[in-house]
Structure 1
């Protein structure tokens, strides 16, 4: 499959960008336009690794392709530096939504950690308000351009700090005003979700949806803790659930797999996996299986009936889009439109929305793929 310079491709005569999509795992501070970073840094008199937008984009791609989540996360120091003012946050959120809509996304959830945006003197409430203003402006601009999109906030706590209970309360306070769920992010290995049990207990008592980064830089213990301590309804990445699968026999295209208890639970309960193919390669999340996209256990998980979804994680760091991620999967695993539709259906079913609104998304996806 030929992927053009804009990341689009044709499949069965259809532009992948034109298809309706759902984005569940997309970081606000990983989705900035390089040109915006340059302009905001110039306004704030900040030094950048590169002063030219194109060169800066290349820098992010090079530094992110490290094979280590810890090294990958260091690039966020740059994006966070220009997201410390109300104006910067609102602009970044507005452009984030515009870029999603231009990529054919009809529903997205944007995750970000308010505690990382207080350097300019704003309060937690003020940074959430600034981002929500930008989201709504982006939705309005998309509508003016003939693209309908809705975006909800996943208020995120950093797993290596001690503010998760405070951030959980913040998320619940913003329920109905833009916040649709909660997450913990940051360095995973050595920071189990169990460290934040108080926050998760509070969220469970408030019936507030939770997704947890787990199964990326750490393995099955992290996933287990996300489910038991975090009561996660989705797994952020979750790719290493494949470590609980044992291939016992291969015969041509037939594969006999033995499930561990954890993998069977995740599969049978249809707990969505927020897989991010390009990012999983960059951070070394799939190094147990190989270093190429064809080695990613995505297809194995899909064929075994897991609720796989396709995501970008960080568009800037991976120089990607949801359209491009789908195109890469088509190229790697020879998927057809029916497969891509299945991925979107899984994402719609896992969205942190009331069931009536999820059903509306499912109808929009079905209609879009039928056309």
Structure 2
């Protein structure tokens, strides 16, 4: 075995660490016949490292016509879940880090998230609208157990009666039911749990450190029982790999208490297309060409098409078939398609800025 070739790493999605698109220097290891004899093929797997950063602003805004929210916060850069299909991987290039293994092992935590969010919400000209938590990286990824940044943000939003939506594929969301349940009673929160397959073996390779599919279904049930409005995101759908599970996911999620559903097809921008092809070669070599052929059919003959009108659901015959299958399954199981709960922005009370004089009144 060539020790320099990409290989599957247990607990990690990417198999390599290619330079980002902004790097001017490329490194390539070569076996000269000497070093390979000293390399241990059972070398320890890369460990997760978290670096704290101080953010000046934490609310990001967008006006993309295919995204249902205008404001978002992401407590972390990078994501330990390691989902190989994650469209956020290329964003790690802006940190001079690799979209490959670096994205899932070298994370950044916005340690002052709550303080920065408080300052932004307290600005005189701030106009409230629902804030999405987890638009880029998962707010409940494993490192949240220690850093608790998502919980800190929720505590502040609850204090201000500010509405928010959450997207996650981790059952850790259940930890914050003490905040989510009261917010739900005031129509201040809606949670979407992402499940794209019921196959544990496939999920362990596609999204190695996310909660198992059955555990996410249990989280949907727990949230529903607590009175929290919950939906399911079948995302992303990868043709010839996990699309066969779409109807079963919707059925099981509806039975667990989900009342709305959405889906997206796989997107492969920038460096992600190379990482995903590498993953296919390692984990699904017999169907790799077929998968990519269908992906290209849904993207106008390319690996990725960034057109706002088609990038989320694709185009062409296969994309149309997915859309019809999804609509039929939603009707069958009583799921509202892409319907977000009308959240209440009228209750918002701006937070008070900390004063050196303390609270006198």
Q: By the TM > 0.5 criterion, same fold?
A: no
**TM-score when normalising by structure 2:** 0.41
TM-score between the two structures when normalised by the length of structure 1: 0.40
More helix by share: 1
Q: Which has the larger radius of gyration?
A: 2
